[in-house]
Chain A
Amino acid sequence: MADCDATGPVSTVNSGIMEEKRQVVGDRLKRRDEERLAELEKKKEERSENLTAQESAKFFLETFSKNKNDLEQELSGCDSLEKDKLVDRFDNLSVMHQKLQRFLTESTMFLSSYDVRQTQDALSKLQALIQEKRDALLPKKKFAFKSKKKGTQQQKTEESKNSDIPSVDMVELADCKFTDKENETLIMDSSINMKDVALANLKSCTVKLFGAPSAIHVNKLVNCTILSGPVSGSIFIRECTNCVFAVPCQQLRIHSTTETKFFIHVTSRAIIEDCSKVSFGPYNWTYPNIIDHYKVSGLDKNRNTWDDIDDFNWLAADQRSPNWSLIPEDERNIQWE
């Protein structure tokens, strides 16, 4: 019903609408005409562009085949050349080939994929031809570092003539060492300061190092007690059984070791690998001038992560490795002899 009220001014509205429509249609026609012209212009442009594309493709193919012919001629001329000129000739050929390759890569924009494939094939064949010819005419090309190698070989033979460097299997251990002992008490003093110490193949021995070595390497100990002053660098322990260690150091790595107790002061984090039944407590050995040795080593006395061990065979963060444990407090007070 409400619609009826609106019928009154319909005619005037209608004429207004017609006027508007006419204008709209006119505009649309005009716009369409403009678009058509623009389209025409665009097509014309495209056509001319196409022409230049064709032209440059044509130019490319011509230049390429000319260069290719030159290269082939150079290549066939190789047979009659003397040997000392051949190297230069082949170098020259490679440069020409490279240039041609670059020319192709730079031209791929306006080439049809067929042309690109064809020329690339031709280039590859050319490369193979050059290589073949080179192998035939210059067998075993001299590499720049061949003479150097000759030099080192000479050096090597000289060395083996007059040197007494032992072979790998019997490398002598360094000066500071205890090896192949049984049932002994072995002692070193501060002469080991800043040096590296090796302990290997000991059975039922007690080792006391009253000094501040830079590093300790330990291998194959059974039923031994090892006591050391502060070590500025790393301690590397492997294949020990049923031993007790008391050591302060910056780094501690323990490998393939079982049933062994460690009383340690470590300023980074100690790690174990392939170990079982190893336990840890805080470092508790002391001797009269240990303070001086701490100074020599530069170890920070206030920084000790003795109870924080990384097991490289146990990467689960939420569960504790079954391979190591903490020594109960009432078992930490050991009276060192």
Chain B
Amino acid sequence: MGLLTILNKMKQKEKEVRLLMLGLDNAGKTTILKKFNGEDIDTISPTLGFNIKTLEHKGFKLNIWDVGGQKSLRSYWRNYFESTDGLIWVVDSADRMRLADCKQELHNLLLEERLAGATLLVFANKQDLPGALSAQEIRKGLNLDEITTHHWLIQACSAVTGESLLEGIDWIIDDIASRIFTMD
């Protein structure tokens, strides 16, 4: 029919989802990305810049952006906000000394207008370490219950073993899909 109808149909067929993965340095963002994509994780260096992976999952085309978390790079995070469907916030659960920093950076992001519509998944990473805080403790430490502006979920996981990565990603995709692809 109209051109718009055709365009809409094409867009629905594609089902593209853009995920932005952020977090403090040493949180394990790149390791999560590579593990999820089935790549080798033994040779990962601290990210100077960003990585992007496009992969198919559950009939969706995921564009996952993994941006370096070093302090000197955080001011560039804003350049990646545009048209983000989901925000994945990665936490080094064993880094008890920087939990306050982690909370601050996350809550700054949530004020960002361009991320207003995004679903938030918090990965409490590095659960393979015995000193890791539990998801409940991280949830409290990051004041997640205060968040009313975004759909959110905290998922304990380990990028090294791959445990529960899939559960987290599945949830964020389901949440995004129920918001975006049910217009008809």
Judged by a CB distance under 8 angstroms, whether A233 is at the interface is: yes
B25, B71, B97, B160: the one contacting A217 at CB < 8 Å is B97
A306 CA to B43 CA, complexed, in Å: 14
Q: Which of A233-255 contact B (CB under 8 A)?
A: 233-234, 236, 250-251, 253, 255
Report how far A283 CA is from B148 CA in the complex, Å.
50
Q: Closest approach, in angstroms, between the C-beta of A292 and any C-beta of chain B?
A: 19
B-side interface residues toward A, CB under 8 Å?
1-5, 25-26, 42-46, 48, 70-73, 94-97, 99-100, 103, 126, 128-133, 136-137, 140-141, 145, 148, 151, 160
Task: With A168-B103, A269-B46 as known contacts, state yes or no: A153 contacts B145, CB within 8 Å.
Answer: yes
Write out the residue numbers on chain A whose beta carbons fall within 8 Å of the beta carbon of B141. 168, 171
A196 to B148, CA, bound (A): 34
Bound Cα distance from A236 to B45, whole angstroms: 13
Q: Find chain B residues with CB under 8 A from A131 CB.
A: none
Task: State the CA gap A253–B130 with chains docked (Å).
Answer: 21
Q: Are B132 and A251 in contact (CB under 8 A)?
A: no
Chain B residues contacting A215 (CB-CB under 8 Å) are 94, 126, 129
By DSSP majority rule, is chain B's interface helix, strand, loop, or mixed? Answer: loop
Interface string of A198-240 (1 = CB under 8 A from B): 1010000000000000110101000000000000011010000
In the complex, chain A residues whose CB is within 8 Å of the CB of B151: 145
Taken residue by residue from 263 to 275, chain A's Cβ proximity to chain B (1 for < 8 Å, 0 otherwise) reads as 0000111010110
Docked Cα-Cα span, A112 to B47, in Å, equals 54
Most buried by B among A145, A168, A268, A313: A168
Contact of B48 among A152, A175, A312 (CB under 8 A): A312
Given that A106-B1, A313-B72 are known contacts, is A174 also in contact with B131, CB under 8 Å in the complex?
yes
| Distance in angstroms between the alpha carbons of A149 and B96 in the assembled complex | 27
Judge whether B48 and A310 touch: CB under 8 Å.
Answer: yes
Contact assessment for B71 and A255 in the assembled complex, using a CB-CB cutoff below 8 Å: yes
Interface size grouping (class) on chain A: 35 or more
Specify which chain B residues have a CB less than 8 angstroms from the CB of A171 in the assembled complex: 96-97, 99, 133, 141
Question: Which residues of the partner chain A approach B5 to less than 8 Å between Cβ atoms?
Answer: 105-106
Q: Which 4 A-B pairs have the closest CB atoms?
A: A174-B131, A268-B45, A269-B45, A196-B129
Pairwise interchain contact B96-A172, C-beta atoms closer than 8 A:
yes
Given known pairs A156-B145, A175-B131, A310-B46, the reply for A108 and B2 (CB within 8 Å) is yes
A-B contact pairs, 26 of them (CB 8 A): A105-B2, A106-B2, A106-B4, A109-B1, A109-B3, A145-B151, A156-B145, A159-B136, A168-B99, A168-B140, A172-B96, A174-B96, A196-B94, A198-B96, A198-B131, A200-B97, A215-B126, A217-B94, A251-B45, A251-B46, A253-B25, A253-B26, A253-B46, A268-B43, A271-B45, A271-B70
Least CB distance from B127 to A in Å reads 11
A289 to B160, CA, bound (A): 26
* Residue A56, interface by CB 8 Å: no
What sequence of 0s and 1s flags, for each residue 136-175 of chain A, a beta carbon within 8 Å of any chain B beta carbon?
0000000001000100110010010000010011011111
| 18 additional contacts (CB under 8 A) given A168-B100, A217-B96, A310-B45 | A106-B1, A109-B3, A152-B145, A156-B145, A168-B99, A173-B96, A175-B131, A194-B130, A196-B129, A196-B130, A198-B97, A200-B97, A233-B160, A255-B71, A269-B45, A271-B45, A312-B70, A312-B72
Which single member of A107, A153, A165, A312 contacts B140 (CB below 8 Å)?
A165
Q: Give the residue of B4, B43, B103, B137 whose beta carbon is less than 8 angstroms from that of A165.
A: B137
Tell me the bound Cα distance from A274 to B129 in angstroms: 28
Provide the bound-state CA to CA distance between A219 and B98, in Å.
Answer: 10
Residue of B nearest to A315 (CB): B48
Interface readout for A285-298 with B: 1 if CB under 8 Å, 0 if not? 00000000000001
Q: What's the nearest-Cβ distance from chain B to residue A285, in Å?
A: 23
Give the chain B neighbours of A196 by CB distance below 8 A: 94, 126, 129-132
User: Are B97 and A173 neighbours in the complex by a CB distance under 8 Å?
Assistant: yes
The chain B residue sitting closest to A175, CB to CB, is: B131
A30 to B100, CA, bound (A): 90
A107 to B103, CA, bound (A): 50
Q: Which residue of B lies closest to A299 (CB)?
A: B42
CA distance A234 to B125 in the complex (A): 14
Residues of B near A195 (CB, < 8 A) are 129-131
CA of A152 to CA of B100, assembled, Å: 22
Which residues of chain A from 179 to 198 have any CB-CB distance to chain B below 8 Å in the complex? 194-196, 198
Give A273 to B71 CA distance when docked, in angstroms. 8
Q: Is A176 at the interface (CB under 8 A from chain B)? A: yes
How far apart are the CA atoms of A172 and B160 in the complex, in Å? 24
Closest to A169 in B: B100
Contact B46 A217 (CB under 8 A): no
- A12–B99 Cα gap in the complex (Å)? 106
Q: Does B46 lie within 8 Å of A271, measured CB to CB?
A: yes
